[in-house]
Amino acid sequence: MAGALERIERFLEDRGRTRLIATVNPEFVMRAQSDQPFRRVLETADLCLADGIGVVWAMRRQGCRDQQRVAGSDLVPALANLCARRGWRLFLLGAQPGVADEAGARLQARVPGLQVVGCHAGSPGEEDDDDSLLRIESSGADLLLVAYGHPRQELWIDRNRERLSVPVAVGVGGAFDFLAGRVRRAPPLIRGAHLEWLWRLAQEPWRARRMAVLPTYALAVLRDRRG
């Protein structure tokens, strides 16, 4: 986490272009095997963070022995503290209507001095891009958090990179739902045991279809000769 925040802070100081940051889990990796546009976005991202413990496991097998998990749900509060300390402004885009507003309000209550300058559900569809981009630009935001879930949030950022006015945009998945209290996050004991994925599956059974790729992912990692 410390290394991720240090890198993002440098990105925020450099106003030359919009940097895309992805929080990657095994579902991202498996999706990228067959979805070429999504694969290109991940391969050209400025920073990919190991959000899922399955990615951490694979990286450690391939020689990154000290790799730690950087969960998007932990990254967002950490970024809020960074923004408050440096006077940077935050914009929340995505999730269901009203969720970003609740998440933003809770972040501001939790982090003294944080400037949340915009909250907007919008949509990942191109037909809503102009409206969302106008809101972001007029807010004067420095950091954009996008919560449309993968691959839509990463594709949205990539599609609009040349039109965005922020130096950093991060895909954060379901982080707004946790912050707003719409979804309860796993207790620390379960997170420490690397079973947060099982907790989320129990709360949201619809994830079973997405998680069906995990055995295939695990087998691919085990077969990789770099391990």
Residue 108 has a CB neighbour count (10 Å cut-off) of 16
pTM for the whole thing? 0.90
Question: 82: closest CA among 168, 182, 23, 158?
Answer: 168
DSSP 8-state class, residue 206: G
Q: Are 183 and 203 in contact (CB under 8 A)?
A: yes
pLDDT at position 35: 97
Written as tens digits, the pLDDT of the chain (227 aa) is 999 999 999 999 998 899 999 999 999 999 999 999 999 999 999 999 999 899 999 999 989 888 999 999 999 999 999 999 999 999 999 999 999 999 999 999 999 999 999 999 999 999 999 999 999 999 999 999 999 999 999 999 999 999 999 999 999 999 999 999 887 777 788 777 777 767 766 776 766 677 778 889 899 899 887 65
Per-residue tokens: 211? 């998680």
The dotted CATH code for 18-173 is 3.40.50
Domain range annotation of the chain:
18-173
Q: What is the 3-state secondary structure (H, E, C) of 104-130?
A: HHHHHHHCCCCEEEEEECCCCCHHHHH
Per-residue tokens: 51? 């959000």
DSSP string, 163-200: T---SEEEE-TTHHHHHHTSSPPPPHHHHHTT-HHHHH
d(CA 159, CA 195): 34
Q: Could you give the angle at which helices 152-160 and 129-139 cross, rounded to 10 degrees?
A: 70
d(CA 154, CA 23): 10
